[in-house]
Structure 1
């Protein structure tokens, strides 16, 4: 087991949700940067390297699928885990065809998310 810190980008426009998740993942040794929408997420991705992105599909400024496509052009090897609300499984499946690693339904269990993050990161390294 390597002790490299996993760096993640969490993209979601629910501020309360991202703050709680960032804190909880931080306690598990992950380094998380958050973005409230696609535009900010793309700017962060230009400046930083991430091991994984956690991307909400439904956001105000940009569609999650659109953000996913841009991520895949910018950082083709970075796995993207999509979060989707109930009833958007269709969008999540579309995301899978666009190259997402996997998706989870919100609200997701922290353990499930951590497991997905580790699976995604280990698939690459």
Structure 2
């Protein structure tokens, strides 16, 4: 994997020290990081911008990670989401996957694993966008009488 990934990532976690440290580690590797400490804030950011990957903590006060995931996916079904948890259960993992999470990683997160997942999601996102563009072009060509 390229040392500098150049992906745009949204980190969502109520632990400010965790977000600060992880943001710095990701930015040192060339990623552009935005952060939110509440689910509501993350939903708002995801409505205004697109991200190559969104990393959401499962356990947060107020709107928890599953609800945040659900709300982001309602507004942006193509959002690529990784869930994080310090106390993940099979039930929570299953629910997150049903709601559209791409993966579920345990805290403390291994940086190599996280970077690999972000790279996979960025690649997948590019392919999805290319496919949509091709479909739009095909639709335009079908409707034109040239």
User: Is the structural similarity TM-score above 0.5?
Assistant: yes
How many residues end up aligned between the 2 structures?
125
> Which structure 1 residue ranges, 5 or more long, are not aligned?
none
Partner Cα distance (1:23, 1:84) in 2: 20
Report if aligned partners of 1:8, 1:53 keep a CA contact under 8 Å in 2: yes
> Which structure 2 residue ranges, 5 or more long, are not aligned?
127-146
Q: Which runs of 4+ in 1 moved over 2 A?
A: 1-5, 86-90
Structure 1 segment 34-113 matched on structure 2, within 5 A: 34-113=35-114
TM-score by length of 1: 0.92
Report if aligned partners of 1:9, 1:32 keep a CA contact under 8 Å in 2: yes
Instruction: Indicate the structure (1 or 2) with the bigger Cα radius of gyration.
Output: 2
Task: Indicate the structure with greater helix content.
Answer: 2
Q: CA RMSD in A?
A: 1.8
Using the TM superposition, give the Cα deviation of residue 42 of structure 1 relative to its aligned residue in structure 2, in angstroms. 1.1
What secondary structure, in the 3-state scheme, does the structure 2 residue paired with 1:92 have? helix
Partner Cα distance (1:55, 1:4) in 2: 19
TM-score by length of 2: 0.79
Task: Indicate the structure with greater strand content.
Answer: 1
Partner Cα distance (2:6, 2:29) in 1: 10
Partner Cα distance (1:45, 1:35) in 2: 10
